[in-house]
């Protein structure tokens, strides 16, 4: 059974840093084509933050480019999101996602529709 468990959320002041982790219950390298981070505010749509492919190809959403870094440790089956120079608008619930499919026609690799498996989320709060 696939399980994704996030950790590392918390409260930080603007300009600070946090590192989120997402532990997979299965071999993430062989099982998933893509892994990603999303974020969601109450009452709003879940939005892609960053994704990484099995081959190491990376994509970031514009609001986090240059500040956030996605990475994966295949030996530990863990996905990371290093968040630097954080802003109050980064305050959200952050979710880890993974998907084993090679292709999903017509769906962006940073769209929530692209991902089958989700973690429970971890709250990030940035104060000004």
pLDDT higher than threshold 90 for residue 16: yes
pLDDT higher than threshold 90 for residue 103: no
pLDDT (average), residues 25-39 = 92
pLDDT higher than threshold 90 for residue 27: no
Query: Could you read off the pLDDT of 55-99 as tens digits, one per residue?
Result: 999 999 999 999 999 999 999 999 999 999 999 999 999 999 999
The 3-state secondary structure of the chain reads CCCEEEECCEEEECCCCEEEEEEECCCHHHHCCEEEEEEECCCCCCEEEEEEECCCCEEECHHHCCCEEEEEEHHHCEEEEEECCCCHHHCEEEEEEEECCCCCCCCCCCCHHHCCEECCCEEEEEEC
């Amino acid at each position: 059974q696939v399980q994704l468990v996030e950790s590392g959320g918390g409260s930080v002041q603007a300009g600070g840093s946090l590192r989120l982790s997402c532990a997979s219950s299965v071999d993430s390298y062989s099982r998933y084509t893509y892994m990603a981070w999303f974020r969601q505010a109450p009452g709003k749509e879940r939005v892609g933050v960053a994704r990484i492919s099995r081959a190491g190809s990376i994509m970031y959403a514009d609001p986090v480019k240059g500040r956030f870094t996605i990475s994966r440790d295949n030996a530990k089956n863990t996905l990371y999101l290093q968040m630097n120079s954080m802003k109050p608008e980064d305050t959200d619930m952050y979710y880890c996602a993974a998907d084993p499919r090679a292709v999903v026609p017509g769906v962006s690799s940073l769209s929530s529709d692209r991902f089958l498996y989700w973690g429970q989320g971890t709250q990030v709060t940035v104060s000004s």
